[in-house]
Chains A and B, each alone.
Chain A
Amino acid sequence: MSCEQVRLQIGADPGRSAPELEQHLQECEFCRQFRAEMRILDAKIRRVLDQPPVSAGMPRFTARWRPWALAASVLLAMVAVLGMWLLRPSDTLAREVVAHVQEEPESWLARQQVDAQSIDEALRGAGVKLGITSDRITYAQSCWFRGHYVPHLVVQTAQGPVTVMILRNQHVSARRAFQEQGMSGVIVPASQGSIAVLTQGGGANIDAVTAQLQQDVRWLPDAH
């Protein structure tokens, strides 16, 4: 077993034990240390999940409060509509893209090239294909975003990694640049949705990556 396979097995189930796994651990200090840490973490996870998430201090709605809650929700809905009018949709979209990328910090760390099949599988759920096979893609996942699975890729450039999200169901009217939470990027319209490209710190040439993707993305007709 490779270190990566062992990490996957341990991360998925720290309590797991198998002869092949144990043999690797005898020879690999790093994986042994990883398992020790993950077992401690897992014991804490089990302890936490053994209780409901909020034990005290959480306001709890009872049936007699529900009419008031309903009235409040109608009022909130009106405020939300006003808010949506004030906040342009693409700004909100950029914020959600950045929030999603921040939730997957490990994506920036990947350095190993992702094979073509994995890239295809990440793209397939969104009904997208790439016209080229890039040896610079080091992260390719199909992620749940705004009610749809969307491809989330990381492309290595000479100036650093660039994240790409192909947003089939999110339409923008024009190119919009944004800077949020230390990330900068653009969302550009595409024939069947939009493409978000972003980087940390703004070092990488995202315009070049964006232009390349606009050429290479193929939108399949029968995606959901």
Chain B
Amino acid sequence: MRNSQPESPVSSIGERLSGADPRASITQLFESMRPDLLRFAHWLARDRSLAEDIVQESLLRAWRSRDALKDQGAARAWLLTIVRREHARLYERKRLELVSLDEALESQAPAKAADPESDLFTLRNAIMRLPIEYREPLLLQVIGGFSTEEIARELALSSTAVLTRLFRARNKLRTFCGMSPVPDVSTSEAAP
């Protein structure tokens, strides 16, 4: 929930648990993933405060349905999926694309002068400016480590559509970074 207190649901639950409780290990596991989840949510939502809320809500959801997690090795992908869906829910409800991107980018301006790697700065802004339909599969691939097929399943798209979106995402980043775009590919974006 957007206005909930920013305490950790995992931590607060964890405080109630005894050390011997098997649930403590999953609490610890979730908590260890928090930085990755926050980074992923932050890139998705492009707003730190919103990202914190998304992760908070996602961890609550994950905790409630923790029995669905059969393999702890799959926890990272599972949690990233929950974060993505939580962001999508908020996005659908509140048109979160309206988050003031210009303000967010302007606030980074002081960092530009101090950052000798200005091309990375440009790229960071370019990724922030990518439309959500291109940014989302790119983040799932790069941060989440998802394969094309896994992204296709998650986004309910065909594999070809995912390849096309990933291609277009990088092609747009080429343009933003001053490189000439290559001609677009003529593939369809049909759902599976």
Contacts and interface: CB of A to CB of B under 8 A. Distances in A.
Contacts of A107: 184
A114 B186 contact: yes
| Count class of interface residues, chain B | 35 or more
Interface residues of A, number: 55
A63 B6 contact: yes
A11 B188 contact: no
Given A11-B166, A53-B43, A58-B107, A118 B185 contact: no
A110 B183 contact: yes
A11 B182 contact: yes
Nearest to B128: A53
Contacts of B104: 53-54, 58
A13 B167 CA distance: 8
Q: Could you say which of B104, B184, B190 has the most chain A C-beta atoms within 10 Å of its C-beta?
A: B184
A62 B127 contact: no
Interface string B135-158: 000110111000010000000000
A17 interface: no
Nearest 8 CB-CB pairings of A with B:
A11-B167, A12-B166, A118-B188, A12-B163, A106-B184, A61-B49, A121-B188, A8-B185
Interface of B: 3, 5-6, 38-39, 42-43, 46, 48-49, 92, 95, 104, 107-111, 119-120, 123-124, 127-129, 131-133, 138-139, 141-143, 148, 162-164, 166-168, 170-175, 177, 179, 181-190
